[in-house]
């Protein structure tokens, strides 16, 4: 199993930290920070593993993460600075917590099978107590087992674990078909309000329990992933979803409020900036960088600019133009991190990512003049 030594990359890490600190303070560093948000699925494929095995075999999970650290710092050289290993269970938190079936298909990420069909199911849904939830205790046992494995192998890198569900809309869409949720928001809003309130209750219970277990006494920052916000109107978002998201940020995000939303959210950006008071947003791969800058520039650090699909044919002239346009529009004045919005998926060649980072370093130097 490969051993990663972060000390070897100390100068590189310090330069990236400084670059991000300046940019995230809405000032101009030496060049635009770059974050290539490739995760477990991408690296499992890169290093020859079945994605299913990455999520089900802890030895493979750790091997993939160790190799990914070396590859990122040695070859990719973007501005990600995290060096910790972590228990990666995939996008299945709601499935575990609400006891939904979880499928592990061949060579892809696991998925939750929705269990709610109608209003009766919503009313009957009970919120488990995290402190004695068998699945959460199983996860802590997995943490201990993995830590023993790391110790046995002499791997001294930090190892972390957290558990939490999505905010109410996206949590609901994990355990009920999204189309059903959207339809009921119009046709039976009272039932959906009950569902969202239950999701909010679950979110708070889990977050408070996990913070106690992890020794976090006064949480000041929180990040949410709310992909499903893209698929409802801003009017519907403000009426039925915003109050719940706002309550989460007010409770846990006094200093830092992060949001990831993968779909096209141009219609929600102003609300995210002025009502949620975000500090950082991953705008995903389908939103307009122009709209993000129009509504959030100077208030929210914007992360994004490219879609994963823009790179399937390599770093083409078309992709280069999109990169230049994103930097020209979003980078002046700081407050911008170039990224493939959302996540980098298998199918984009690793050499393309390396080439892209070099290209962004070249055209993204301040003062921006492209």
Average pLDDT rounded to a whole number, residues 228-248: 99
Residue 348: pLDDT band (50, 70, 90) is very high
Mean predicted confidence (pLDDT) in 227-245: 98
Give the pLDDT confidence score for residue 137 in this predicted structure: 97
Q: What is the largest CA-CA distance in the chain?
A: 59
**Is the distance from CB of 176 to CB of 195 less than 8 angstroms?**
yes
pLDDT, average across residues 154-171: 97
**pLDDT attached to residue 128:** 98
pLDDT tens string 58-88: 999 999 999 999 999 999 999 999 999 999 9
Task: Give 263's pLDDT tier (boundaries 50, 70, 90).
Answer: confident
pLDDT digits (tens, 9 = 90+) for 98-126: 999 999 999 999 999 999 999 999 999 99
What's the pLDDT at 3? 80
Q: Domain 84-217's class?
A: alpha beta
| Domain spans, the chain | 84-217
**Mean per-residue pLDDT, 342-353:** 96
Residues of the chain above pLDDT 90, percent: 98
pLDDT of residue 220: 98
Check whether 2 has a pLDDT greater than 90. no
pTM above 0.95, yes or no: yes
d(CA 246, CA 273): 12
């Amino acid at each position: 199993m490969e051993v990663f030594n972060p000390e070897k990359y100390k100068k590189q890490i310090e330069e990236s930290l400084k670059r991000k600190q300046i940019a995230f303070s809405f000032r101009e560093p030496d060049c635009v920070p770059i974050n290539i948000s490739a995760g477990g699925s991408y690296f499992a494929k890169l290093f020859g593993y079945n994605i299913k095995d990455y999520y089900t075999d802890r030895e493979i999970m750790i091997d993939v993460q160790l190799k990914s650290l070396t590859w990122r710092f040695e070859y990719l050289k973007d501005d990600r600075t995290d060096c910790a290993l972590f228990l990666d269970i995939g996008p299945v938190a709601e499935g575990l917590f609400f006891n939904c079936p979880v499928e592990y298909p061949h060579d892809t990420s696991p998925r939750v099978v929705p269990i709610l069909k109608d209003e009766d199911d919503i009313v009957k849904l009970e919120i488990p107590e995290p402190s004695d939830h068998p699945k959460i205790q199983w996860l802590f046992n997995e943490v201990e087992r993995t830590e023993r494995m790391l110790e046995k192998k002499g791997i001294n890198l930090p190892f972390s674990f957290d558990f939490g569900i999505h905010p109410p809309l996206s949590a609901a869409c994990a355990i009920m078909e999204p189309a059903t949720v959207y339809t009921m928001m119009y046709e039976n809003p009272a039932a959906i309000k009950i569902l969202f309130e239950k999701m909010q209750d679950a979110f708070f219970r889990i977050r408070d329990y996990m913070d106690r277990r992890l020794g976090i006494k006064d949480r000041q920052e929180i990040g949410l992933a709310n992909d499903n916000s893209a698929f409802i109107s801003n009017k519907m978002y403000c009426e039925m979803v915003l109050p719940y998201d706002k309550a989460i940020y007010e409770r846990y995000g006094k200093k830092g409020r992060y949001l990831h939303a993968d779909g096209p959210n141009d219609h929600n950006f102003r609300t995210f900036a002025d009502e949620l008071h975000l500090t950082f947003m991953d705008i995903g791969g389908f939103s307009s960088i122009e709209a993000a800058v129009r509504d959030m520039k100077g208030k929210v650090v914007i992360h994004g600019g490219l879609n994963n699909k823009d790179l399937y044919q390599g770093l083409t002239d078309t992709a280069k133009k999109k990169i230049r346009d994103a930097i020209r529009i979003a980078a002046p004045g700081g407050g911008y991190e170039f990224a493939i919005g959302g996540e980098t998926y298998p199918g984009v060649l690793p050499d393309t990512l390396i080439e892209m980072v070099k290209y962004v370093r070249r055209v993204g130097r301040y003062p921006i003049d492209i």
